[in-house]
Amino acid sequence: MEHQEFNEVKQVKEHESKLLSQDKVENLIQQAQEAKVSAYCPYSKFRVGAALLTTSDCVFTGCNVENACYNLGICAERVAISKAVSEGHNKFKAVAVASDMSDQFISPCGACRQFMREFGSDWLVYLSKPDGTYLEMTVNQLLPVSFGPDDLSMNKVAN
Ligand SMILES: [Zn+2]
């Protein structure tokens, strides 16, 4: 019991140490809003921008990119993550997501949640509104009980 309490305290402290300062969050959201301007969304007219902060404090941005073959469209979050990974960065602190919805925080789709989870489940996702207000969540909160890279090496029944 005591051991469990200790673990809980430790986890809270670890989580707090990963939180970004207000300035950094606002800056990341601003960059997501700027990335949104490049959105290629002639079909949905639904602009989304993302700004991804790596553990080495680099920022990679992305916007949604749609296609005349509708189902080939890709979300801003996955564009930003793919840009980072292709440049040699795959450890992330946070991602901010921005859209034009004034009444609702933009929320990553299921595919993007799984894409984020590939690179860890305890990093931060900021769901924002155009006025700069935001919700702070972790990847784990957005995608609980997830399937990830470690699951591939788990014990399996013999075939
Ligand atoms: Zn998505």
**pLDDT at site 158:** 83
Domain assignment of residue 89, yes or no: yes
Provide the pLDDT confidence category of residue 70 given band limits of 50, 70 and 90.
very high
Q: Domain tally for the chain? A: 1
Q: Is position 155 within any domain?
A: no
147 in a structural domain? no
Summarised one tens digit per residue, pLDDT across range 107-144 is 999 999 999 999 999 999 999 999 999 999 999 999 99
Q: Which domain holds residue 114?
A: 16-142
**Which band of pLDDT confidence, cut at 50, 70 and 90, is reported for residue 18?**
confident
- Residues across the chain: 159
Residue 5 domain-assigned (yes or no): no
C-alpha distances (whole Å) from 47 to each of 30, 56, 127 are 15, 28, 14
pLDDT at 1 over 70: no
Band of pLDDT at residue 51, cut at 50, 70 and 90:
very high
47: domain CATH number is 3.40.140.10
Q: Looking at this protein, which amino acid is placed at residue 109?
A: C
The closest of 78, 128, 79, 124 to 100, measured between CA atoms, is 128
| Distance (Å) from CA 59 to ligand 1 centroid | 19
Mean pLDDT of 69-75: 98
Q: Which band of pLDDT confidence, cut at 50, 70 and 90, is reported for residue 19?
A: confident
Domain-embedded: residue 72:
yes
What tokens were used for 76? Answer: 């801003």
Asked if the structure places residue 130 within a domain, the reply is yes
Question: How far, in Å, is the centroid of ligand 1 from the Cα of 78?
Answer: 7
Distance CA 98, CA 130 (A): 7
User: Which residues have C-beta within 8 Å of that of residue 56, sequence separation ≥ 6?
Assistant: 89, 91
Catalytic residue from among 2, 5, 8, 77: 77
**Does any domain span residue 98?**
yes
- Whole-number Å distance between alpha carbons of 8 and 4: 6
Q: For residue 40, what are the contacts with CB-CB under 8 A and spacing of at least 6?
A: 63, 64, 65, 66
77 is catalytic: yes
- pLDDT at position 2, please? 53
Tens-digit pLDDT profile for residues 80-103: 999 999 999 999 999 999 999 999
